[in-house]
Each structure stands twice: as structure tokens, then as C-alpha cells.
Amino acid sequence: MLALKYEIYKPKAVQAEVKPSVRFNLRTSKDPEHEGCYLSLGHSQPLEDCGFNMTAKTFFIIHGWTMSGIFENWLHKLVSALHTRERDANVVVVNWLPLAHQLYTDAVNNTRAVGRSIARMLDWLQEKDEFSLGNVHLIGYSLGAHVAGYAGNFVKGTVGRITGLDPAGPMFEGADIHKRLSPDDADFVDVLHTYTRSFGLSIGIQMPVGHIDIYPNGGDFQPGCGLNDVLGTIGYGTITEVVKCEHERAVHLFVDSLVNQDKPSFAFQCTDSNRFKKGICLSCRKNRCNSIGYNAKKMRNKRNSKMYLKTRAGMPFRVYHYQMKIHVFSYKNMRDIEPTFYVTLYGTNADSQTLPLEIVEQIEQNATNTFLVYTEEDLGDLLKIQLTWEGTSQSWYSLWKELRSYLSQPRNPRQELHIRRIRVKSGETQRKLTFCAEDPENTSISPGRELWFHKCRDGWRMKNETSPTVKLP
């Protein structure tokens, strides 16, 4: 695993050269891959020669630990995307490659010094007329996120915003707030977590470290990053490439928010990933939902706010979330049964593919069971729903029980659920609709059968929550 590789990695010998360990490279929109101009602390002439705009937004891009000693491709894409979105902005790449191209433990120990160097540059810029620290946005990837935290901690004043793109986990998980990125480091700190694991194998940090911490797809197992997906994309696949894909996904989600602003992705506040998978957390009341990436809205919370969403495998990453509440008013012979349900949604714009209902907990009788489904395209207003019970999957223990039951009683009892209505809520629009069984006299469903639900008469009245709702573009 990449997380363990830092213990044995040996960097190439670095020849002595008269260069500062941290360099500030002002990139232009004309050629985002060109080195551009280098800013030097205490020297004002390069600011004029390079066209540094004192009144514009200023972005500092901070890379992380490196095994190659060179910039990765994502950096140039991020530079280009920032210039596309904010044409007058200053985009500065913080080059600390000599200090990052070390053993991981040594690179971690260098983050504090790099953060202090950035703070000194910001302090010097503040001496210039019209430069405002509130216009500064530090964007740090992996180790670079914690570098940004140090910079925000050391600078005289308060940085406007820090975005942490999957901040590094090893040697930072559980650390004191002064030794990692934290909400105290800027006026607004937002974080994307895309590679979190357990048992010390997490490349990205698991704990919340910002005002809002967003966990796309639960913060792990990103769509399109499986070994087979990587193999199909680049022609070869290794565990390292899978790790890189998931860890780097945070960067591409941020780039997506810059270049596809007409297709923003929304995240929803939830206590944990399991509750989100159950479809419980699709509310926008009291700032419980937010855009992700560059479009995230400033939230000043006394405590960290954890948010979740699903995404596609590639740009644009946006999907459409639906909460489905299915009221089961009776069932038969459901003991030790794990049903497999699918739904198909039919809308005014399009119809969905057949979507699985992930059953997190056992289905309860005389209770409302909640599920989360999502589609990759905007279906418009929903018109009807098809619910299909494909069959059952059982444990060896339950199969043995069924075999014993069959030997004692040849007729296998039929499993059956009775469902009268399904309530649906759209996460993106916050609209609520109720769908009733097509035939009120036939509300039972069993393995191999399906039920159709149409919009109830009172379902035409869309019940919107009183809080401001998310508007689709």
C-alpha cells in the first residue's frame, strides 16, 4: 500500500544547488503548464513584471508528498480551471518539491517550515496597498493541506479560505489542532475526504478537520477507481494506481466544481456514512446541505459538520439523490430472508436504469423503511415507480433451516410483503411526492414479482420544506 511505502522509499540523490527550498510560481492563464514568474520575498519588481493583481483573488496551490520529485498532471489542470473560473485572479503554485521528495516522515517534519514560508510571503504582501488577506484562498492536497493549515496559523491575520483536498492521514490522525489542518486556520475551512480507511491504512485523514468535511461516496471506494477501472483507463493496473486514483479524486472533484459550475454537486449533513446510505439525511433545513468544491458556501459552525454525497465515476461527477420511504404494513415468512429489491424511476425528462435498493438493516413490519437511490441524469418530475423483488440470498445456516423445513413439509412457504405506498424526496430540489400502488387491491410482492406505483392524487401537491431549498440550474 502507498501508505506503508514511505517507510522504505529512498529518494534520488539531490545535487546541491543555490535555490530556495520553497518557491512561489505565479502561473498565467495563457500557458498554465509554463513556469511563469517567480515571486521573491522582499522584491517588489517581479510583482509588477508578472502583473500581480493586488485587488484580485489570490490562490496558492500546495502540492503534497512526492515520490517522483516532479509536479503531477493534476496541478496543471487545477491551475487552468482556476484561471477559467476566475480570469483576473492570481494563481500561485507553491513549489516545495526539494522538501517533499524525501522519506514520508521527513516530508511531514518539513510541512511546518513550508507553512511558515507561505505565511511570511503573505505577511509581506499585506504590506502592499490594496492587498487583502480575505481574498487569499489556500488549496492544499494531501500533505499540502496541512502545510496550508500551518500557513494559516502562522500568518498575521486571518486567511479568507483554506480547502483541504484529502488531507494526509499518517502522522496527522488524532493530532493536536496546532499540528494539523483545523477550523482555526482560516475564516472558512472546507475539506474533501476521498481515501479513508481503517486499521492505520488510511492515506487520507478520517477525522473531520474543517468547518465542513465532505465525504464523497463515504470517503472511500470511489467509482471508477477499482483495479479493473484503472486497468481499462491506463492499460495497466496496480494497487498503487488504485490508491492514487482515490486519493487524487478530491482534486478532480474540486476541478469539476470550477469548470462545470452549471452542474454542481450537493452534499448532505449526516452523523455517519451508514445513516446516509439508509437515505435518512437528505435535508437542506438549517444549512444541512451545501455545494462541494469551489462552490461551497461559508459555514461557521462551533463544531465540525460532516457531509456526504454520491458521485459518478467521471466528470461531471454530479448525481441526483432520492430518499425512498417504503411502508411495509405486513409480511409473511420473512425470517432469515434477505430480499433483493430494485426500483426503476420514470420521469418527465428521462427514465432511470434499474437501481438497487441497498438494505442496510432488516426490513421491518408495520414500519417505514428508508432507502437511498441516485441517478446519473435529471429525470425531471417523477411520474411512476416500478419495484421489483428479484429473489433472496441466504446464509448457509438459513439454507440448512429451509432444507429441514422442506423435508418435514414439502410445500415451501411463500415470502410476501405488502406495500401500499412509497414516499419520495429529491435531495437536489427538496420536493416530496407520494406514490400509491397501481391496483389498491393488489399490494403484495414476492420473489420474481413486481409492483407499480403511480403518483397519488394528493401527490401533485409538492410539499417543500420551509427553509431555502437547493435550486437546480
Which residues make up each annotated binding site for Ca(2+)? 180, 185
Annotation marks residue 63 as catalytic: no
166 counts as catalytic: yes
| 3-state secondary structure at position 316 | coil
- From the candidates 63, 117, 137, 166, which is the catalytic residue? 166
CA 56: distance to chain centroid? 28
* Pairing label, strands 161-165, 136-141: parallel
- Grid cell listed for 117: 514560508
Cα Rg of the chain, angstroms:
26
Round to whole Å and give the CA distance between 388 and 355: 10
Measured distance CA(271)–CA(284) in Å, rounded: 15
Largest CA distance in the chain: 93
Structural contact between residues 360 and 277, judged by C-beta atoms closer than 8 angstroms: yes
Identity of the amino acid at 372: L
Catalytic annotation on 327? Answer: no
C-alpha distances out from residue 293 to 43, 147, 252, Å? 34, 19, 10
Q: Could you tell me which residues come within 8 angstroms of residue 74 by beta carbon, excluding any fewer than 6 positions away?
A: 141, 248, 251, 252, 255
Distance CA 113, CA 119 (A): 10
Report how far residue 452's alpha carbon sits from residue 384's, in angstroms, rounded to the nearest whole number: 7
User: How large is the angle between the packed helices 227-234 and 239-259, nearest 10 degrees?
Assistant: 70
Hey, which bits of 156-293 come out as E strands? 161-165, 188-192, 212-216, 266-269, 289-291
Q: Please name the residue that has the C-alpha cell 420536493.
A: 431
Q: Active-site residue among 193, 211, 247, 321?
A: 247
List active site positions.
142, 166, 247
